[in-house]
Amino acid sequence: MTLVRNDSFRDIDRFLKQFWVTPEVNRFHTVPMDVYRNDDSFLVVVDLPGVSADKIDLTVENNVLSIHAERSVPTSVEGVERSLAERPYGEFRRQVYLGTNVDAEHIRASYEDGILTVVVPIAAHAKPRRIDVSPSKGTSVLDA
């Protein structure tokens, strides 16, 4: 038995976009991303296939990380007709709200094989810390 996933609305949407939306239209696209947390930082991993590193712009303002990238429309080759256009071109934007528990001054990013990885360190004041418990010497905490 084979399980086939069918999403009629997605198929209809894709079909209609072929006729009414061209890749040359300058509109903003969202990009898929994953966010992970380890002990000392958050990792934001964004798919940007076909985007050159010099076309990626990262900014942080008021604890909002803004990702802006652009993938150019491929140049037409004479005598070659495009039959199907599903890959998005143009501008890609994404915003990530960081909150107050991050160290926005030490964010760093790398880009390799179409994957943008942004490392957002957690601020020292937001990291869990161990509190030592001292033995009581017969006095109550309320007496202190």
Residue 34: predicted pLDDT = 94
Length of the chain: 144
Q: What angle do CA 114, 118, 124 make, to 5 degrees?
A: 170
CA dist 34 and 46 (Å) reads: 7
Provide the sign of the torsion angle of the four alpha carbons 15, 16, 20, 22, taken in this order: negative
Q: Are 46 and 92 in contact (CB under 8 A)?
A: no
Distance (Å, rounded) from C-alpha 91 to C-alpha 28? 5
Give the pLDDT confidence score for residue 67 in this predicted structure: 93
Helix and strand totals (H; E) in the chain: 1, 8
Q: How many CA atoms lie within 13 A of 128 on its CB side?
A: 3
So where are the chain's domains? Answer: 25-73+86-125
CATH node for 25-73+86-125: 2.60.40.790
63 contacts 98 by C-beta, under 8 angstroms: yes
Reading the chain (144 residues) residue by residue, the pLDDT tens digits are: 344 455 556 666 666 655 555 544 445 677 889 999 988 899 999 999 989 999 999 999 988 999 999 988 877 778 888 777 778 888 888 999 988 889 989 999 999 999 999 999 998 888 788 899 888 776 665 665
pLDDT of 42: 92
- Check residue 69 and give its pLDDT: 93
What is the pLDDT, as a whole number, of residue 12?
67
Strands 28-29 and 90-97, bridge-based pairing:
parallel
pLDDT of residue 1: 39
